[in-house]
Amino acid sequence: MKLKLLLASATLAAGATVLNAADEKAFEKALLGHIMWSAFECSTYAQMSDTLVDKSEQERLHLVGLNAGRTFLEAMKAGQIPEQALRKAVPINVLQRLEGPSNEVIIDKIYAAATGQARDYIVKRKTGIWGPTEKQEAKHYYVDSNCILIR
């Protein structure tokens, strides 16, 4: 009896491991939607804080977002990302913009929303005439958002 119970437990554990590996792969693909959004935001911070980084950092982050977006949308259209992984890993701002005639149009909509939101954080957050400048705020957001780590 104990042997049968042990065998059944081992079989269930092995099945769960395979299922978890597939779930993990789907979750990693879903995370590309989050990477896309974050990279686009960070490219705006890099652009606005020209004292911190040069133009190549802004371009690098834009390309990371673009490539992540393309891979993410291809995986979505191929049915490789389940609904649960989307809800768990992808920002609502991305999920709201997933319709369009082509992947490039969808990415453009997401780019406009991410960069607009990042710019609003900086420009509309004025704390008074003695507060930090927009360049200082952008530098602060760039550093605090760990933008340098986005690859």
pLDDT single digits (tens) 53-62: 568 899 999 9
- pLDDT for 52: 54
Residue 69's closest CA among 101, 44, 94, 47?
94
Count up the domains in the chain and report the number: 1
| CA-to-CA separations, 61 to 14, 35, 120, 151, in angstroms, rounded | 40, 10, 19, 8
| Domain membership of residue 91 as a residue range | 2-149
Residue 131 burial by Cβ neighbours in a 10 Å radius (0-12, 13-18, 19+): exposed
Q: Evaluate if residue 133 carries a pLDDT over 50.
A: yes
- Residues 87-132 have pLDDT tens digits of 999 999 999 999 999 999 999 999 999 999 999 989 887 666 677 7
pLDDT of 9 higher than 60:
no
**Mean of per-residue pLDDT scores for the chain:** 85
Length of the chain: 151
Which amino acid would we find at residue 9?
A: S
Buried residues in 71-108 as b, exposed as e (16+ CB within 10 A): bbbebbeeeebeeebbeebbbeebeebbeeeebeebbe
